[in-house]
Amino acid sequence: MSSSQARQFQTPRGTRDLLPDDYAIHQHILDHAREQARLAGFGFIEPPTFEQAELFARGVGEGTDIVEKEMYIFDDRGGDRLALRPEGTASVCRAYLQHGMANLGQPVKLAYHLPIFRYERPQAGRFRQHTQFGVEAIGVHDAALDAEVIDLGWRIAETLGLTDLKILLNSIGDVEDRRAYVPMLKEHFEPHLERLAPDDQSRWDRAPMRLLDSKDERTRPFQTDAPVITDHLRPESAAYYDAVKSHLEALGIPYEERPTLVRGLDYYTHTVFEIVPAQADGSQVTVLAGGRYDGLIEQIGGPPTPGIGFGMGIERMAHQLREQGLAPDGDSATDVLIATLGEGAEIAATQIAGDLRRRGIAATLAFGGRSLKAQLRQADRSGARFAVIAGARDLTEGRVTIRDLRTAEQRQVALDDVVGELAGEFTDGAYTPPQD
C-alpha cells in the first residue's frame, strides 16, 4: 500500500459500533433493569475498566477459560500488570473490601452496567467486548436473598415483555460437598477420557465439573449417566437448596432444575442459575447468568464473606427483544426541523431552535444552504413532526411558517408566537424548564 493511500479502519474483530437504533434498545433495556434494581434496593457502582490482573486470576480462578485464555492483559508503562475487566463480580467485591463496606448494613446491594472484555472466538451473540448489567448482594448467606436476586433477573425480563424464557436452577454445593463428589465424577469420566473433546480432557483434572455442561458433541454422550452433585449434597447444603426453591415457589417464579448446570467461573457455590429462551438448547443464548459465591471475597484477600449476583448480557437481551418484536421504535432525533430561505434567515432560525430547546422540544436547522425543496425533503425524512420555514422576507415582516409534516398543512404565525404555538403541540412534554 502506498503511503498516500488512506487506510480504511474497522472495528477490531469481535467488537462493534452501537449505532443509534441499537443504542435505543440498549437504553430501553437499561431503563428497565435500573428501575427494577432500584425497586429491589440496589445502589449503583462503577469500578474502573481495568484492574490489577491478579484480582481476576485469584477471584475468577487460574484454571478458568476467562483467566487462562480470554483476558486482555497488559503491562502499563510503570510495569504494573493490568487486565481489562473480563467480568464484574470480582471488581465489585474488591470495591466492597477497599471501601470497608462490611461496616455497612448487610447485605450490601450493588448494581452496575459495564463493558466486559474477553478474547473469545467471535460468533453470533459472542463478542470480544460486550455489556453486562449485573447485581451483587454481598454479606449475607440466606436463601431468601438468593430468591430475591433470581426474582430481580426474572422481573427485568418480564417488564421488558419477554415471556418466552425459562430459569434453569441448580446447586453446586460448597467446597466440602465437592470434596466427596468430585472424585466420583472424575471416576465416571476417566475410562472415556481419550474420547472427550480435547478442551474437556484438560478440564478433567483442573475443572472436572465443567465436563457436565460441555456443549461439545464428543463429550456429550458421556454426560448422560454422570453422577450429579445434587444427589451428594450434605444435609445442610441440600436444605439450603430446598429453601431457595420454596422461596421461588412462594414468589410464583417458574424454574426448571438442571443438575448439569455448573457455570464457568471457579467462585460459585450453592445456588447457580441461568435465564434462557424457553426453546433453547445451545450455549450462545443465555441472556442472564449468576449464582452464589461464598468463597470469592476470601480468595481476593478479605474475610470469609458470602455473596450472590448475576450478569445479564445486554446484546443478547437486545437480540431477544428484536426476535420477539419487542424492540422499541427508535425515537426520531428531532421534533422540529427549521428550514431557511434567504440572507440572514439562519440567524433567526438559530434563535428559534434555541428557544424551542429551552422549552424541551428537540429542534435543529436543515443546514447546508440547499433549496427549500431539499430542506423540506430532509424534514420529511428526519421523522420530525413539524417544519418551521423561516424566509428572509417573511422575517422582516415578523412572520414564519409552520408546516405539519404529517398532513403537509401550512400556516403562518408571528415570529414571537412560533415557540408557544409549537410548545402547545407537544403537550405531553413532561419537560419543565429550569426556574431561575
> 310-349: which residues touch ligand ATP (CB under 6 A)?
311, 313, 315-316
CA 410 to chain centre: 45
List, as one string, the DSSP characters of 155-215. HHHHHTT--SEEEEEEE---HHHHHHHHHHHHHHHGGGGGGS-HHHHHHHHH-GGGGGG--
- Is the distance from CB of 124 to CB of 245 less than 8 angstroms? no
Identity of the residue, 309 or 391, whose beta carbon is nearer to ligand ATP in the bound complex: 309
Over the window 66 to 105, marking each residue x when it contacts ligand ATP by CB under 6 A and - when it does not, the resulting string is ---------------------x------------------
Contacts of 43 (CB under 8 A, 6+ apart): 109, 110, 111
Identity of the residue, 64 or 340, whose beta carbon is nearer to ligand ATP in the bound complex: 64
How is residue 318 written as a grid cell? 437486545
Segment contacting ligand ATP by CB under 6 A, of 169-177, 308-316, 373-381, 427-435: 308-316
DSSP H/E element including 167? strand 165-171
CB of 215 to ligand ATP, least distance (A): 9
Identity of the residue, 131 or 375, whose beta carbon is nearer to ligand ATP in the bound complex: 131
Identity of the residue, 66 or 341, whose beta carbon is nearer to ligand ATP in the bound complex: 66
CA distance 84 to 116: 8
CA 336 to chain centre: 32
Identity of the residue, 315 or 346, whose beta carbon is nearer to ligand ATP in the bound complex: 315
Identity of the residue, 131 or 340, whose beta carbon is nearer to ligand ATP in the bound complex: 131
Identity of the residue, 264 or 383, whose beta carbon is nearer to ligand ATP in the bound complex: 264
DSSP H/E element including 71? none
Q: Verify binding: residue 264, ligand ATP, rule CB under 6 A.
A: yes
When binding is defined by CB under 6 A, the residue of 73, 102, 115, 120 that contacts ligand ATP is 120
CA distance 44 to 283: 29
Strand partners, 416: none
When binding is defined by CB under 6 A, the residue of 170, 286, 334, 340 that contacts ligand ATP is 286
Over the window 287 to 306, marking each residue x when it contacts ligand ATP by CB under 6 A and - when it does not, the resulting string is xxx-----------------
Contacts of 20 (CB under 8 A, 6+ apart): 330, 333
Segment contacting ligand ATP by CB under 6 A, of 124-132, 153-161, 179-187, 366-374: 124-132
CA distance 90 to 85: 9
Q: Verify binding: residue 108, ligand ATP, rule CB under 6 A.
A: no
Segment contacting ligand ATP by CB under 6 A, of 199-207, 281-289, 301-309, 357-365: 281-289
Over the window 125 to 164, marking each residue x when it contacts ligand ATP by CB under 6 A and - when it does not, the resulting string is xxx--x-x--------------------------------
Distances (CA, A) of 151 to 141, 245, 253, 326, 387: 17, 12, 7, 21, 47
Count of residues in contact with ligand ATP, rule CB under 6 A: 20
CB of 26 to ligand ATP, least distance (A): 13
Q: What are phi and psi of 93, to 5 degrees?
A: -70, -35
Segment contacting ligand ATP by CB under 6 A, of 76-84, 193-201, 284-292, 298-306: 284-292
Residue type, 28: H
How is residue 6 written as a grid cell? 488512506
Asked if the peptide bond before residue 277 counts as cis, ω within 30 degrees of 0, the response is no
Mapped onto helix, strand or coil, the DSSP state of residue 117 is strand
Identity of the residue, 288 or 389, whose beta carbon is nearer to ligand ATP in the bound complex: 288
CA distance 417 to 411: 12
- Is the distance from CB of 403 to CB of 387 less than 8 angstroms? yes
Q: Which residue is nearest to ligand ATP (CB)?
A: 313
Q: Verify binding: residue 25, ligand ATP, rule CB under 6 A.
A: no
CA distance 173 to 170: 9
Identity of the residue, 320 or 375, whose beta carbon is nearer to ligand ATP in the bound complex: 320
Identity of the residue, 247 or 263, whose beta carbon is nearer to ligand ATP in the bound complex: 263
> 171-200: which residues touch ligand ATP (CB under 6 A)?
none
**Could you tell me which of 332, 324, 322 has the C-alpha nearest to residue 26?**
322
How is residue 76 written as a grid cell? 502499563
Question: Which residues of the shown chain bind ligand ATP in the complex (CB under 6 A)?
Answer: 87, 118, 120, 125-127, 130, 132, 263-264, 283-284, 286-289, 311, 313, 315-316
